[in-house]
């Protein structure tokens, strides 16, 4: 089982949750079993897996890019002092905050002993399993209990083994906060470092209240519990944080000299790497480094995107390519999107369809899921070629397609990007619903994997599932799990006009494929999601009436 798979499922599921189905056979009353069931029921995102994934998707972590922070007076006061409970690292898009967070997490983890522990979370706007306060707190809880097993008592004490459920509410972020704070308070370490990266990507209306709780509770134990947050400039943080001497800020913009030095080091690394491939020679290599540094404006991401484009550019065209590209991420994205529009009409339509779909989906797509969501031609090679043409916005990592950076998604969601995408045909949530239902209707059947007995156990079933079956399940994953969530985004008036719930495409699907759909949930090890989906459909049906 790799870190990129869900615990409890092995069908190439997206990084995020760590859970498995809980059935009667696992019900037990000893502490070890109850602890395991509590975590399975809580469905915590695995921050360690996310950190590993981020390191794989970005360039090799270089200590020079964040080492200056270790010597920063504000950081040292937070790290070593007894009065500062919170440090906020603030900087614009592409300034290297996430890689800095990874570096600081690993630096603190290397230094820690039995007297300290590090827990952390990485918010990701494009993944709805990683962009809520509920997810943040669950992820912090999982990292804590994985290092300090005795803290599982805070979950166990809330579990009702007789009824196989939590005896107290754990569904809201505020209820989860009480559990987290109880764990932090009970932890017998002298220091607990709590780090949340990219807080601005958390799509939750409770951010301000969350920050107030951090400060209010943090003031009680500033020596023991140390919070570190990173984000782009965030209005809620500006209003709430830095109100007293117990909180400090490191602004990347105010440390532009350090950032410039780090970017210069990064440019040298990237050009030297490209030189092995494109054979620039010493003189051209120096010119490329100079031109990149002059236009980078202290932004790692700009350098990364430009160097990605240089991979397939001949050496004699490399300098002119850099000179032709504008500085700044927004202008860069403008140029690239307009260049995409210059292709063949059918190709351009496909580029725009893919990008618009990526903006609407609830998590990064696997390559084999793209046809069911977008309606584009199937075939892995076709999809890969399509993604490669849009490489400044999206990329393939492993088997997943994801945005190269949150700033790329933000640009496409902006006025200019959205106008260009929509000019090639509107593509909305309802289009995804229809595509998913069409794909499921075509593929689903009774006993989808041709298992020999209806009471086949999960363990025995796994031994029978072939590679072909795994590919089939993987292609059905997104459509099965998320079409109802897309339907929830469709205005009720549009649902009523299309008779979607009772007589339209949705009604037809439910009448003909309901049991097969539920079976697919079970095979994907996602049956709790099936319950949520059925309830959502019931609520929408009542509302439409």
pLDDT in the model for residue 438: 95
29 in the same domain as 162 = yes
Determine, yes or no, domain membership for 12: no
269 in the same domain as 162 = no
112 in the same domain as 242 = yes
307 in the same domain as 174 = no
Average pLDDT of 534-545? 85
The residues facing 228 across adjacent strands are 87, 195
363 in the same domain as 293 = no
Rounded Cα–Cα distance for residues 412 and 419 (Å) = 9
**Contact yes or no for 41/158 (Cβ under 8 A):** no
| Final residue belonging to a domain, choices 427, 442, 459 | 427
345 in the same domain as 302 = no
521 in the same domain as 397 = no
Determine, yes or no, domain membership for 2: no
132 in the same domain as 68 = yes
pLDDT in the model for residue 253: 79
The continuous run of DSSP H or E covering 464 comes out as helix 458-464
pLDDT in the model for residue 7: 33
295 in the same domain as 270 = yes
Q: Confidence band (pLDDT; 50, 70, 90) for 502? A: low
321 in the same domain as 190 = no
pLDDT in the model for residue 460: 63
pLDDT in the model for residue 217: 80
pLDDT in the model for residue 110: 83
197 in the same domain as 82 = yes
CATH number of the domain that residue 37 is part of: 3.40.50.300
Angle of helix 47-57 relative to helix 97-111, nearest 10 degrees, comes to: 120
Read off the pTM: 0.84
437 in the same domain as 420 = no
Residue 140 has pLDDT above 50, yes or no: yes
pLDDT in the model for residue 326: 94
- Domain of residue 534, residue span: 430-545
Rounded Cα–Cα distance for residues 384 and 104 (Å) = 34
Residue 474 has pLDDT above 60, yes or no: yes
Determine, yes or no, domain membership for 8: no
Residues with Cβ < 8 Å from 260, sequence gap 6 or more? Answer: 298
| Final residue belonging to a domain, choices 254, 289, 312 | 254
Average pLDDT of 127-131? 93
Q: Confidence band (pLDDT; 50, 70, 90) for 22? A: very low
Average pLDDT of 19-44? 69
Rounded Cα–Cα distance for residues 450 and 483 (Å) = 25
pLDDT in the model for residue 2: 33
For the stretch 154-193, pLDDT in tens is 999 998 888 888 888 888 999 999 999 999 999 988 899 9
For the stretch 380-439, pLDDT in tens is 889 999 999 999 999 998 899 999 999 999 999 999 999 999 999 889 999 999 999 999
Determine, yes or no, domain membership for 416: yes
The residues facing 120 across adjacent strands are 195
Strands (E), 348-505: 365-366, 394-397, 400-403
Closest of 234, 229, 281, 217 to residue 122, by C-alpha = 229
pLDDT in the model for residue 210: 92
Say how many domains are in the chain. Answer: 4
Determine, yes or no, domain membership for 9: no
Q: Can you give 224-283 as a three-state secondary structure string? A: CEEEEEEECCCHHHHHHCCCCCCEEEEECCCCHHHHHHHHHHHHHHHHHHHHHHHCCCHH
pLDDT in the model for residue 13: 35
Residues with Cβ < 8 Å from 442, sequence gap 6 or more? Answer: none
| Final residue belonging to a domain, choices 427, 460, 476 | 427
Average pLDDT of 49-56? 90
Determine, yes or no, domain membership for 501: yes
Residue 34 has pLDDT above 50, yes or no: yes
For the stretch 303-341, pLDDT in tens is 999 999 999 899 999 999 999 999 999 999 999 999 999
pLDDT in the model for residue 66: 81
For the stretch 254-288, pLDDT in tens is 788 888 999 999 999 999 999 999 999 999 999 99
Percent residues over pLDDT 90 in the chain: 58
pLDDT in the model for residue 452: 78
Determine, yes or no, domain membership for 22: yes
Rounded to the nearest integer, the mean pLDDT of the chain is 86
Residue 1 has pLDDT above 50, yes or no: no
Residue 120 has pLDDT above 50, yes or no: yes
Determine, yes or no, domain membership for 146: yes
């Amino acid at each position: 089982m790799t870190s990129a798979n869900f615990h409890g499922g092995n069908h190439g599921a997206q990084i995020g949750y760590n859970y498995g189905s809980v059935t009667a056979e696992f019900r037990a009353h000893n502490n070890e079993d109850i602890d395991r069931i509590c975590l399975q029921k809580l469905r915590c995102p695995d921050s360690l897996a996310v950190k590993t994934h981020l390191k794989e998707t970005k360039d090799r972590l270089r200590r020079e890019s964040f080492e200056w922070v270790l010597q920063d007076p504000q950081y040292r006061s937070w790290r070593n002092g007894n009065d500062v409970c919170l440090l906020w690292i603030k900087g614009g898009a592409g300034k290297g905050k996430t890689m800095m967070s990874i570096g600081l997490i690993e630096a603190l983890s290397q230094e820690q002993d039995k007297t300290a522990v590090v827990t952390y979370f990485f918010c990701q706007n494009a993944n709805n399993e990683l962009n809520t306060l509920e997810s943040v707190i669950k992820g912090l809880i999982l990292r804590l209990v994985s290092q300090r097993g005795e803290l599982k008592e805070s979950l166990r004490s809330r579990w009702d083994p007789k009824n196989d459920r939590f005896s107290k509410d754990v569904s809201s972020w505020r209820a989860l906060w009480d559990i987290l704070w109880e764990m932090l308070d009970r932890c017998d370490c002298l220091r607990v470092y709590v780090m949340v990266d990219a807080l601005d990507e958390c799509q939750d209306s409770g951010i301000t209240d969350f920050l107030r709780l951090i400060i209010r509770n943090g003031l009680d134990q500033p020596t023991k519990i140390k919070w570190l947050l990173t984000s782009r400039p965030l209005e809620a943080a500006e209003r709430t944080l830095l109100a007293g001497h117990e909180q400090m800020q490191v602004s990347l913009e105010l440390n532009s000299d350090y950032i410039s030095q780090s970017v210069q080091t990064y440019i040298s690394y990237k050009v030297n790497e490209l030189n092995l491939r494109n054979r620039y020679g010493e003189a051209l290599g120096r010119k490329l480094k100079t031109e990149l540094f002059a236009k980078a404006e202290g932004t790692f991401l700009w350098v990364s995107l430009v160097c990605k484009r240089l991979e397939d550019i001949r050496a004699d065209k490399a300098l002119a390519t850099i000179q032709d590209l504008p500085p700044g991420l927004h202008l860069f994205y403008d140029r690239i999107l307009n260049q995409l529009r210059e292709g063949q009409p059918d190709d351009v339509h496909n580029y725009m369809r893919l990008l618009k779909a990526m903006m609407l989906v609830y998590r990064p797509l696997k390559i084999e899921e793209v046809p069911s969501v977008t309606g584009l031609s199937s075939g892995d090679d076709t999809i890969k070629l399509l993604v490669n043409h849009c490489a400044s916005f999206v990329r393939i990592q492993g088997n997943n397609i994801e945005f190269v950076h949150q700033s790329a998604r933000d640009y496409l969601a902006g006025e200019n990007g959205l106008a260009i995408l929509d000019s090639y045909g509107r593509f909305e949530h309802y289009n995804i619903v229809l595509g998913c239902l069409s794909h499921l209707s075509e593929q689903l059947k009774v006993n989808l994997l041709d298992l020999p007995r209806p009471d086949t156990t999960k363990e025995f079933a796994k031994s029978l599932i072939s590679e072909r079956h795994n590919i089939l399940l993987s292609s059905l994953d997104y459509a099965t799990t998320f079409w109802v969530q897309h339907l929830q985004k469709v205005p009720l008036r549009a649902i009523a006009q299309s008779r979607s719930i009772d007589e339209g495409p949705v009604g037809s699907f439910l009448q003909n494929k309901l049991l097969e759909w539920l079976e697919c949930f079970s095979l994907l090890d996602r049956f709790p999601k099936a319950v949520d989906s059925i309830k959502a459909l019931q609520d929408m049906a009542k509302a439409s009436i």
